[in-house]
Structure 1
């Protein structure tokens, strides 16, 4: 193994030299390893037909995904298994990991709409990450599959302990293969968006047509204090996926709840407040007519049939999402499933 990574990918990311320079090397099994940047490492086998980004650490206190990425990279470098897909592994925000905080100045996962002005370190970091992913996807062959799993941990309890948010884009990307992967990973739920979100996974979906999702893995915990056995099915699904040997039996047997977003509540003033406890669990259900939030006399109430709240947070910055409202959704899996901006998820794509 390369001496710089002998202590592990995470250790290098958290204690890298100030003058890091990109370099590459080859493992005895023929895998090319390209260490592009601090926290950005590419694994490149010959004749790959998939390009997969697996990112973590966008929020520094969401540590289970960081540990999972470190485990995957360590096993690849030690020859425990050999991926057949080009894969870009990312541990995004070492400064926030060191500080045991979500971010330093600005929420990094709201900075992927475009190139950012250099107003703070998070803006600069988002620009760097976009460039790394851009180069990674641009270097794929025309028919290669493109995927991006951006892994997070929730800051609150949830009816569904592990779930994925599929961003809406303007691309005609059939997201049904994600359903099979999530079932094999024993994820509990899948949430289909309707609006652009400026998240990392949205950026890959919108710009490259990648099958992209934000994964929510349990609750936040201090680094190395996660029970990683909780995420063993996800880890195994990722290994199977990277090795091109998906677990079809697990995908068939596992039940996956699917939701669609009905509305996004955006905070437009500091007067915004939720009408329920700020620590309410994700997917808490509200009956039709129940009050959800209030802002300067404008009341938000649950719509016909009721709605469940996901990611409720009155403390976000003005202009950011304060809550997603969702309802159950059952797609016809015999037909394409498109998740396009401003339209119902379904077999009809935006032209």
Structure 2
């Protein structure tokens, strides 16, 4: 196995599906799924996914560069590692997805779309995670990092989306997210169909969806813009000290979801609206027949506005700031105000 990305884009199985190197064992499990196990004992198991949306290519390239260094012996492996390229057919096509949005199908939601290729892939990814963590010990630390880039520009260029969880977030996990250059963290308040919610709910993993920049095709990414995340990932995988932590991320929580339920849906936002754009209380955000969505709090921020989703899916999230946390940050912290 020389280059997991090229192997995945080729659409064929590798000639060799397993091997042992001086520091690790590797096993190709399925298209875009590779498991690496250090020969030395470890108490950490990390799943890193990318390419859940096939048009978000920079995280795939970043992850592939790290895996290549491991397989060429240029970097030590200090944790059990599962690498998952989420949607290989969409990656090959350069499309977000072929039939269904893969990141809405986890937690068994794929059963509602049995004829959709993404539904079959969601099941396979769930199985891969389950098998990976079942073979570990009860003392193992479980992390899942799902790497993405966003369709829209953003007042916070790099941010993380935390799945709903009633467990406290581990301090070292939160420190790692800051070291990865995230400027903001968004906390869900309800279950969802994302890959990170699945790993958090079913396997008690510390999970985060990382939005690391703008979605661009292969060959058009300036990977220097992803340096903080790449360095933090390398340190995590190899067990090296984290790079110096930047500013503590600002925190937001989801206050309401805008859902497109019919073809009558209208989102009252410009196509150029940036993530974390602020709206004042009382403003009409969207309408769908007799259903209307207004800003309910004094000020709310929009995330992932998209009027073109399929009926029944999320067309946007509205956020409020975690004022208690953000007030404690340094006065020069970035704030996306209009």
- Answer yes or no: is 1:113 the counterpart of 2:103: no
> Which residues in structure 2 correspond to 1:1-351 (within 5 Å)?
5-6=1-2, 8-17=3-12, 23-28=17-22, 30-45=23-38, 46-114=40-108, 116-117=110-111, 118-169=114-165, 172-247=167-242, 250-251=244-245, 253-330=246-323
Runs of 4 or more above 6 Å deviation: none
Structure 1 contact 153–216 (Cα < 8 Å) conserved: yes
Post-superposition CA distance 1:60-93 (Å, at most 9, x none): 1100011011111001111111021101011121
* SS of match in other structure, 1:133: helix
1:161 & 1:142 partners in 2: Cα distance? 37
1:328 & 1:173 partners in 2: Cα distance? 19
Q: Which residue of 2 aligns with 1:344?
A: none
* SS of match in other structure, 1:116: helix
What's the TM-score, normalizing by structure 1? Answer: 0.87
- Number of residue pairs the alignment of both structures matches: 323
What's the TM-score, normalizing by structure 2? Answer: 0.91
Question: 1:56 Cα shift?
Answer: 0.6
- Mean Cα deviation higher: 288-297 or 70-79: 288-297
Question: 1:94 Cα shift?
Answer: 1.7
Structure 1 contact 278–314 (Cα < 8 Å) conserved: no
* SS of match in other structure, 2:35: strand
What runs of 5+ residues in structure 2 fail to find an aligned partner?
A: 327-338
* SS of match in other structure, 2:185: strand
What runs of 5+ residues in structure 1 fail to find an aligned partner?
A: 334-351
